Structure 1
Amino acid sequence: MHYLTRNEIARLVAEDFPQYAVVNLGIGMPTLVTEHIAPGLGIYLHSENGILGMAQRTPQVPPDPDLINASKENVALQPGASICDHALSFTMMRGGHLDITVLGAFEVAANGDIANWALGEGDPLPSVGGAMDLAVGTPKVWVMMETLTRSKASRLVAHCSLPLTAQGVVSRVYSEIGVFDVEDNHFVPRSLIAGVTPASLPEWVSGPIAWAVDRPRVIELPLDDRAGSGLGS
């Protein structure tokens, strides 16, 4: 069975962005989404360290060595971009001025709870960053994650066992086996790779599952290179 790679997951996320959306991409896997955004969508990428309008990451737009995003990666600006201080940037987040935030996670619960931070060994303080502000202040919270831990335990659970980042905020999960909507305290398969069936899905998802009449659709693999050819929003 061919599972989605991280870049293929990022591709599906980018194809679901509506036109002109203001989007924040979290640290880690979500940063890959920048490579797959269709140029004509007019997406404005926000970074909590004070950037609105980061350029799409392409070979034609080299990063500026003097600019970094929240992941400490060098980035470039698109025409019309702006730079502000942390106070204004977090006001955008807390005030509901972003349209979508894409976060990584250790666990997502069927009621939309998300746990995406951990107290590392030797760390005196939790490394939460701006994830809490993004999660509670953004109307749509999407998660990119692998469904299983290294010990093969599911990360899509009935109730989170790890410290929560936010409660009841996640509306969609993108993973190596497909895309799930989080609705009415259930994971609803929206699209799945070939080979994942109702009988086999509990191997990846330990939380409650609901099947919609119009879902899921089969993700045709391999994904081609046409921007905007995916599943739609």
Structure 2
Amino acid sequence: MKYVLDMHTHTIASGHAYTTILENAKHASEIGLQLLGTTDHAPSMPGAPHEWYFGNLKVMPRELYGVTMLYGCEANIIDYEGNIDLPVEIQEKLDIMIASMHEPVMESNENRDLNTSAFLKAMENPNVHIIGHSGNPRFPIYEEELVKKAKEKNILLEINNSSFTRSRVGSDKTCTKIAQLCKEYGTKIILNSDAHSCFHIGVFDAAVKILKQIDMPEELIINRSKTEFLNFLKEKGKQI
């Protein structure tokens, strides 16, 4: 299966990534992607840009090198009430928003109730489209609750390739369980690279390997169709 979109990529604006929006878009074009999300880290992460950066993404063109661009953010869940670190008025302007938990912002812990609560409450936010790398073993959760809530709220659960290859080692067990539950409940997932340089954009090999092991239905993987993804955003109130 040819996957045509990657919605979780970073630029030098994130502070610990190494290529620009233009370099990312050019590489995406060269490897045949049709849709690219640029989602730099929100302000609570060390080295991340000010909120004005996200408020001003409107100046960027919709098409770069023949690739349709979506401009958004990987927002940080900052507490167990599911709050995130961007003002609502900026959230509403973004094409796409991922909500994730990161150790520099939230202290890792073994309390599955608290971690699950943070994700579930973040999913009450109508501006959240994707839950990022929820398989992180530093924030254990109740996977079934997450999958059921994502189905209810029409939110995509990310299977993050970087979690298996460069960061969050040990995510494979939880991610496999999440994927199995998504298969059971019919909850849609999204494969994302979490690229911090252009050379990792569109690389999903490790994530695909896990999905093949559980015989994941292709119709639950939204990366297969640009039209399907844009229709998903339309259902969420976004006109691209």
The bucket for the TM-score relative to the shorter chain is: 0.3 to 0.5
Task: Name which one, 1 or 2, has greater alpha-carbon Rg.
Answer: 1
What TM-score do the two structures reach when normalised by structure 1? Answer: 0.36
What TM-score do the two structures reach when normalised by structure 2? Answer: 0.36
Structure (1 or 2) with the greater helix fraction = 2
